[in-house]
Chain A
Amino acid sequence: MTRQSVAKAHEKIQELAWEPLYHEPVSQYGTDYTFQKAKKKDPLKQVLRSYFPMQEEKDHRVYGAADGAIRGNMFRQVQERWLEWQKLFLSIIPLPEISAARAMPLLFRTVPNPELHNGQAIQMIDEVRHSTIQQNLKRLYMNNYIDPAGFNSSLRNFQNDYCGTIGRQFAEGFITGDAITAASIYLTIVAETAFTNTLFVAMPAEAAANGDYLLPTVFHSVQSDESRHISNGYATLLMALADEGNHQLLARDLRYAWWNNHRVVDAAIGTFIEYGTKDRRKDRESYAEMWRRWIYDDYYRSYLVPLEKYGLEIPHDLIEEAWNQIWNKGYVHEVAQFFATGWLANYWRIDPMTEKDFEWFEYKYPGWYDRYGKWWENYARLSHPNGHHPIVAEDVDYQYPHRCWTCMVPCLVREDMVMAEVDGQVRTYCHEACRWTDVEAFRPTYQGRETPNMGQLIGHREWETLYHGWNWADVVSDMGYVRDDGKTMVAQPHLDLGDQKKMWTLDHLRRMPPVQSPNVLLNEMSPEEREAFHANYVRGGPAGRPAPADA
């Protein structure tokens, strides 16, 4: 930087913007929000003359650490339990990052403030940075970690795996539908401002505790950009709040974005942090404790609540309900149990929990053992092939769940499951808030108001539907989760490499009963049968237990 101060330089680059005289730029994305042209300062105050060297310096640190990790044999100290979950996480996260880059143009024409566009363009290239630096981290893991399977097939597997599909909402929600709903409220106001705290701050701390200091190096570098993006969102939000006609839409979008982020991010990151760690010190924070600090206190109480006086209707009920799900209803534990139930449909290995893990869970979440302990003991018992099926096809007091049509995480807190007939199909939802999202929010009218720009939930949202009636061995082959001997599965319910007798192969799956789609079966029922099924389902749980037989 020369003698010119950043503030002076930033003021100068405001002279670059101009109003069109002859032709308006193309308008390709719609919104139901209205904005008045207003002088809103670019909160980033970023000038590329200082930005590029700053990012280059950050790169030097990241790549220096990467080099050091390899020379220092970091992988001799990395916990496999942890790295295996990175096969899922690092297959998901580059797409949300690059989608955030793609989302920025949605705001150019809809938010009439050229000064903000400068910040949005810088966010765009930041996101290109994040996506490729994360791909590079995955590549390094693939090259240096003991088991490259699952890293080497990462992006194919992410795209056809049900867990990847759940995670994909965290990307597609940014780039389609109403431009403000997607690129501002869902992306910057909720995903980046609230949930990157657990993604990029809490999770790296856990990585370090498991011998992996590269993930913190990369993700803290990423997070240092996120703080600028949060300012982008805040500036747009204040502009939206200035028009009272937007308040109803803001209330809708905050409810949807908050709940969907909670369902998706807490499911994944909660599982990684609680079930992917070997660090069982009693004074290390649990995910619930981190959530309370990072999201409830830092985001909800410090960021959102002060906006109430400007007319922002905050979904207090859903924020308390998210906490209720995590603390009282075992949301993260239910999800981890489901991931482990379906280990064979994934592309990473899931380590059984041990006595030491049980003790920690019981200490952090009193009552955990009574709910989940027995099931995890069964998981360990069934982890090596020995004439039995994978746990999903064994009798371990677990009822395979229905999927939530909206968030696509299964309806694991059984008592909350609701159903609705939509567009000629009976759908199940994990919670009333997810039913509302599909049935009421993502529609062309909302509370009597025309919302022609609102997006739609599309796609084949229940994974099991695609494989209804298939043999499990064919399912795993079709998805490509097979190692280079042509029969050993990528996924394993244990970490014991090197002894082929302990490895599950396609041959073991051939004997299993076929996959059944819960949604296909549900739609084959008569209305009365469905009502009875629903009444029974909501009496099930916790820990996936079927409803007790009537006395």
Chain B
Amino acid sequence: MTTAEAAPEATERSVPKPVFTDAEAGAKEFPDSKARRFNYFTPSKRKQSHYEDVTVEVQPDPRHYLAQGWLYGFSDGRGGYPLDWTVLKAWGGDRPEPERYPGSGGKGYDWPAHGWHEFRDPNEEWELTLYRYGANVVRQINQNVEIARQAKAFEQWNPNWVRFVERNVGAWMHVEHGLGLYLFANANRRAPTNMHNNAISVNSMHKIRFAQDLALYNLTLSEEIEGFDGKAHVDTWNEDPAWQGVRRVAEQLTAIDDWCEAIFAANVVFEPLVGELFRSHLVQHAAPGNGDFVTPTVVGAGEYDYAQRDLRYTKAMFQLLVDDKEFAQHNRQHLSAWLSTWVPRCLGAARELQPLWSQPDAKPPRFEEALDRAKSRFSGIVTELDLDVPKELNQ
């Protein structure tokens, strides 16, 4: 005889139950049921862009909607993002914050309150774009270096070129790192809108990534080339007289208090006159003749960051200020003064680099030729911004 044992009682797991709520768009009609656009800003073009939707007005402004004002201040009582953290001005910036008091209401000035809010990053950078771009760059660099390693490409390098790369290409990583952290990352706290600060943050990451690209490339070379001194870049940066001018001006750039001056001096003056001079007119031109097809791909990625993206937002940012309907003249004066200050400093640094041109066996085009091209590039940028080319360029 068999006895059927009572089946254990099935216990129902405790989980939330799906419920049909019909809470999807279009299920009902009522006021605002079709109002599916952010309505608190005016797009720069006819239609709001995805970039604008995720960026504009995240950083508030007491002249605009911020009814109760900033809530926490520094020890001097100032909060938020003071407009006078740069001497440059955008229209409406001199208007006082709307007065708020018992019974005043909360309204500020109409959008955009002042000209700073008109800036849009032409690269339209937000998280999706910046990671996609960064991931593509590092993947490509990895592949380039890896295939070169497999192909024993570094064996083609002549000894002088090995020394050149370990010392000079290596030294450049310090420039990118220092400016990326202490100029650009630092400046992301300073500008009055989210559009500015996000663009500056992305610029910062370009530089920090490029610095690391160079450091890790240096590590690979240490592993692949017998006798490659992976620490030589540190000595070069610290002691080589040819590099002290670059170092001096890089440090001086991080010492700038005014965030606009910092971005302008770095991206409009230093990069074309020193950065591109070294990267494009020396490394990129000299490498192929010395049997090196790898270094240009690593350095080229950083060059692209600057030439195609960082310079692009920088021009858009300063173009607005140069053309400002209220403060164009004021801004032009300051920008011209900054050109007069920074052009001689950067030219001095550039000239101190001159001995590098004679180091490789296969020589790049002459230094003076390279400098002329760098100057011409710089003049083009300044002219595009409708500023006068400073007389100091001829020094």
> Closest CB of chain A to B66's CB: distance in Å?
5
A439-482 contacts to B (CB < 8 Å): 444, 452-461, 463, 465-470, 474, 478-479
Tell me the smallest distance from the CB of A184 to a CB of chain B, in Å: 15
Additional A-B contact list (12), CB under 8 Å, known A22-B251, A53-B138, A146-B25: A13-B211, A24-B255, A48-B134, A129-B127, A133-B127, A148-B35, A176-B79, A211-B21, A456-B77, A461-B71, A465-B101, A497-B30
Asked if A76 contacts B255 (CB within 8 A), the reply is: no
Asked if B145 is at the interface of the complex by the 8 Å CB criterion, the answer is yes
Contact among A63, A120, A143, A160 for B25, CB-based, below 8 A: A143
Cross-chain pairs A/B with CB under 8 angstroms, 20 sampled: A13-B215, A13-B216, A15-B234, A16-B177, A49-B212, A76-B24, A77-B18, A102-B197, A105-B189, A121-B180, A124-B188, A125-B130, A131-B54, A136-B54, A136-B126, A152-B35, A152-B37, A458-B71, A468-B103, A478-B105
Is B395 an interface position by the 8 A CB rule?
no
**Set A52, A105, A283: member contacting B185, Cβ < 8 A:** A105
CB <8 Å contact, B72 and A458: yes
Are A77 and B65 in contact, with the CB atoms below 8 A?
A: no
B102 within 8 A of A: yes
| Tally of contact residues, B, Cβ under 8 A | 118
Question: What 0/1 pattern do residues 388 to 416 of A give for CB contact below 8 A with B?
Answer: 00000000000000000000100000000
If A102-B188, A121-B180, A497-B30 touch, whether A155 touches B71 (CB-CB below 8 Å) is no
Inter-chain CA distance A312–B125, complex, in Å, is 41
Contacts between the two chains (Cβ within 8 Å), count = 403
Q: B29 near A: Cβ within 8 Å?
A: yes
Cross-chain contact B231 with A152 (CB below 8 angstroms): no
Closest to A498 in B: B28
Give chain B interface residues in 144-180, CB to chain A under 8 Å: 145-146, 149, 173-174, 177-178, 180
| A-contact 0/1 string along B67-82, CB 8 Å cutoff | 1111111110101100
Q: Considering the complex, which residues of chain A in the window 1-30 have a beta carbon less than 8 Å from any beta carbon of chain B?
A: 1-2, 4, 8-9, 12-13, 15-18, 20-26, 28-30
Q: Which 10 A-B pairs have the closest CB atoms?
A: A52-B134, A483-B31, A75-B24, A156-B40, A56-B135, A209-B16, A135-B54, A159-B65, A149-B32, A483-B32
A177 near B: Cβ within 8 Å? yes
The answer for the CA separation of A498 and B29 in the assembled complex, in Å, is 6
A: number of interface residues (CB 8 Å): 132
Is B122 an interface position by the 8 A CB rule? Answer: no
Q: Which residues of A contact B26 (CB under 8 A)?
A: 146
Determine the distance from Cα of A147 to Cα of B28 in the docked complex, in whole angstroms: 9
Contacts of A201 in B (CB 8 A): none
Residues of B within 8 A of A149 (CB): 31-32, 35
Query: Cβ of B201 < 8 Å from any Cβ of A?
Result: yes
**Chain A residue at minimum C-beta to C-beta distance from B201:** A128
Q: How far is the CB of B138 from chain A (nearest CB, A)?
A: 5
Chain B residues within 8 Å of A165, by CB: 67-68, 71
Determine whether the beta carbon of B65 is less than 8 Å from that of A2. no
Does B340 touch A at the CB level, under 8 Å? no
* Other-chain contact of B24, A18, A20, A73, A283 (Cβ < 8 Å): A73
Interface hit among A78-86, A363-371, A428-436: A78-86
Q: Is the CB of B138 within 8 A of A25?
A: no
Report the minimum CB–CB distance from B166 to chain A (whole Å): 12
Q: List, in ascending order, chain A residues with CB within 8 A of B139's CB.
A: 53
Q: Give Cα A143 to B48, complex, Å.
A: 14
- Which A residues are in CB contact (< 8 Å) with B141? 49
Residue-wise, chain A 107-151 has the 8 Å CB interface mask toward B (1 for contact) of 010000000011011001100111111011001001111111100
Q: Which residues of B contact A105 (CB under 8 A)?
A: 185-189
Q: Are A2 and B75 in contact (CB under 8 A)?
A: no
A224 interface residue per 8 A CB criterion = no
Q: Residue B366 at the A interface, CB < 8 A?
A: no
Q: Which residues of A contact B25 (CB under 8 A)?
A: 75, 143-146, 148
Interface residues of A (CB under 8 A from B): 1-2, 4, 8-9, 12-13, 15-18, 20-26, 28-30, 47-49, 51-53, 55-56, 59, 63, 73, 75-80, 83, 94-95, 98, 101-106, 108, 117-118, 120-121, 124-125, 128-133, 135-136, 139, 142-149, 152-156, 159-160, 162, 165, 168-169, 172-173, 175-178, 182, 208-211, 278-279, 281, 283-284, 408, 444, 452-461, 463, 465-470, 474, 478-479, 483-485, 488, 490, 497-498, 500, 503, 517, 520
Interfacial residues, chain B to chain A (CB-CB below 8 A) = 14, 16, 18-33, 35-40, 50, 53-60, 64-75, 77, 79-80, 100-107, 126-128, 130-132, 134-135, 137-139, 141-142, 145-146, 149, 173-174, 177-178, 180-182, 185-190, 194, 197-198, 201-202, 204-205, 208-209, 211-213, 215-216, 218-220, 223, 230-231, 233-234, 237-238, 244, 247-248, 251-252, 254-257
Q: Which of A1, A444, A479, A520 contacts B102 (CB 8 A)?
A: A520
Max chain B Cβ within 10 angstroms of own Cβ: one of A26, A279, A478: A26
Residues in B neighbouring A162, C-beta threshold 8 A: 68
A541 to B304 CA separation, bound complex (whole angstroms): 65
With A22-B251, A124-B185, A136-B54 as known contacts, state yes or no: A458 contacts B212, CB within 8 Å: no
Q: Return A365 CB to nearest CB of chain B, in Å.
A: 20
Which chain B positions have C-beta within 8 A of A29? 74
Instruction: Determine the distance from Cα of A463 to Cα of B230 in the docked complex, in whole angstroms.
Output: 61
> CA–CA, A454 to B32, complex, Å?
45
**In the complex, are the beta carbons of A28 and B181 less than 8 A apart?**
no
Nearest CB in chain A to that of B143: its residue: A2
Distance between Cα atoms of A482 and B388 in the complex (Å): 50
A152 to chain B, nearest CB (A): 5
Instruction: Give every chain A residue within 8 A of B182 (Cβ-Cβ).
Output: 25, 108
Q: Is the CB of A172 within 8 A of B70?
A: yes
| Complex contacts, A500 vs chain B, CB 8 Å | 30-31
B58 touches A121 (CB 8 A): no
Across the interface, do B21 and A16 meet the contact criterion of CB distance under 8 Å?
no
With A25-B182, A156-B57 as known contacts, state yes or no: A15 contacts B233, CB within 8 Å.
Answer: yes
Residues of B within 8 A of A135 (CB): 53-55, 58
Complex alpha-carbon distance, A162 and B227, angstroms: 66
Q: What are the residues of chain B within 8 A of A278 when measuring CB–CB?
A: 19
Interface contact A48-B16, CB-CB below 8 Å: no
- Determine if A467 and B135 form an interchain contact, defined as CB atoms under 8 angstroms apart: no
- Residue in chain B with minimal CB distance to A83: B23
Contact A26 B131 (CB under 8 A): no
Min C-beta distance of B91 to chain A, whole Å: 21
A77-B72 CB under 8 A given contacts A12-B215, A98-B59, A125-B201: no
Question: Are B105's CB and A470's CB within 8 A?
Answer: yes
Q: Are B201 and A80 in contact (CB under 8 A)?
A: no
Complex CA distance for A175 and B79, rounded to whole angstroms:
9
| Inter-chain contacts of A283 with B (CB < 8 A) | 14
- A25 and B204 alpha carbons, distance in the complex (Å): 16
How far is B256's CA from A249's CA once the two chains are assembled, in angstroms?
A: 30
| Least CB distance, B112 to chain A, in whole angstroms | 12
Knowing A25-B182, A76-B21, A148-B36 are in contact, say whether A169-B65 is a contact too (CB < 8 A): no
CB distance from B198 to the nearest CB of A (A): 6
Chain B residues with Cβ under 8 A from A120's Cβ? 185
By beta carbon, the residue of chain B nearest A128 is B201
For A94, give the chain B residue with the smallest CB separation.
B58
B181 touches A47 (CB 8 A): no
Cβ–Cβ contact B186 & A25, under 8 A: yes
How far is it, in angstroms, between the C-alpha of A75 and the C-alpha of B24 when the chains are bound? Answer: 5
> Which residue of chain A has its CB nearest to the CB of B51?
A132
Residue on B nearest A486 in the bound complex, by CB: B31
In the complex, which residues of chain B have a beta carbon less than 8 angstroms from the beta carbon of A155?
A: 38, 40, 56-58, 60, 65
In the complex formed, the residue of A with least CB distance to B252 is A23
Q: Which residues of A contact B69 (CB under 8 A)?
A: 458-460
Asked if A103 and B255 sit within 8 Å, CB to CB, the answer is: no
Contact present for A176 and B14 (CB under 8 Å) = no
Residues of A within 8 A of B80 (CB): 172, 176
